[in-house]
Structure 1
């Protein structure tokens, strides 16, 4: 990789963590300079603005999540196993989360709600992709006879996503992995009692 592209990618990776932890408005160019070791001119050689960095950092964060979820799903043999694996990505169990600072989709959706339309649009597109991903897993489970045929797939995807993001918020707010354990147990019970 050419040195310029390597520097640009390094800025994006480091800025992604900063934006994920502090939000767009809580993050400064000074934060990015400190994290990358570059001067402002060195950063602006690769990006026109903080907005451009934030948008590319969100794309990077989304890709990190996408890879983590796909990897988790790929390791499971059944649709139920895939759902549990994917929805447990942030449950920890000794593993580092895909991206430091929590779920970038949740963080960006809240941070950009009424303040940054382009980031909000990217968060919305990422959420649509996520819901389609869950939809495909549940549809696969119905076709394989693992799940009931009369499931309201869209409603289930919204419910599971809400529980998933709420669990991440609880873990971050209380800095307590016990919430992840409770969530995983409830997730298993929901799949067994409501989807089969």
Structure 2
């Protein structure tokens, strides 16, 4: 593996140091002083490695989302069935002290809510994240269909989007009401959805 150059190390340090701040405060709420305080670097050092604050925010989002995906990938690889792989999402996302997320919660939800009408570049990046997530879920569902874990008539795309909607909706409800019992109901529906796909062997 090639070692990082000094410039690459500096960029990596800036991204890792500021990613939690962007996820908590958003792009609009994060100031230059927040970045310099977190990194102990000057404005010149930061903008010598990034064109502007938006470019740092994009890199921070990529870092935060990659961290979430890495945890999910690790957990799903430990599963023996496709059903277990899908249920991993309910277990990981529905956690009161969620180790899955960086500070501030789900970066997809945070970024989408903030950027929807204010930052098209960030909105698209979050949208691409959702589509990538959907693609991964579809792959798991189709693998389950091929292995006769799930029924052949299951619409993988519909189920995948529904799972994402339930997960992100549950997170939103939990954060808005500050009552995990409310989001528990949604995650129970998610689990029922996964179970409903199961292939029933004829007796």
With normalisation by structure 1, the TM-score equals 0.89
Shift of 1:88: 2.8
Query: 2:64: which partner in 1?
Result: 61
Residues of 2 paired with 1:175 and 1:46: CA distance? 39
Q: Structure 1's 126 and 41: CA in aligned 2 closer, same or farther, altered over 3 A?
A: same
Is 1:102–1:172's contact at 8 Å kept on the other side of the alignment?
no
What corresponds to 1:9 in structure 2?
12
Residue among 122, 145, 152 paired with 2:148: 145
Tell me, what secondary structure is at the counterpart of 1:88? Answer: helix
Corresponding residue for residue 195 of structure 1: 197
2:119 to 113, 116, 120: 116
Quickly say closer, same or farther: Cα 1:174–1:97, change in 2 above 3 A: farther
- 1:52-84 Cα offsets, whole Å, 9 max, x none, are 101111111221122122112111110010001
Q: Is the 8 A contact 2:166 2:187 kept in 1?
A: no
CA distance in 1 between partners of 2:175 and 2:24 (Å): 11
1:143, CA displacement in angstroms?
A: 0.9
The more displaced of 95-104 and 107-116 is 95-104
> Which 5+ residue runs of structure 1 have no aligned equivalent?
none
Equivalents in 2 of 1:179, 1:88: separation in Å? Answer: 16
2:90 is equivalent to residue 90 of structure 1: no
Who wins on radius of gyration, i.e. which is larger? 2
RMSD between aligned residues: 1.9
Could you tell me how far 1:186 is from its partner in structure 2? 2.9
The match for 2:73 is: 70
* Greater mean alpha carbon deviation, residues 169-178 or residues 14-23: 169-178
Residue 182 of structure 1 deviates from its aligned partner by: 3.7
CA gap of 1:93–1:75, structure 2 versus 1, over 3 A, is farther
1:173 to partner: Cα distance: 2.9
Separation in 2, partners of 1:52, 1:139: 36
* 1:25 and 2:35 correspond: no
Partner of residue 54, structure 2: 51
In 2, distance between residues paired with 1:17 and 1:28? 13
- Residue matched to 1:131: 134
In the alignment, the residues of structure 2 paired with residue 93 and residue 191 of structure 1 have an alpha-carbon distance, to the nearest angstrom, of 22
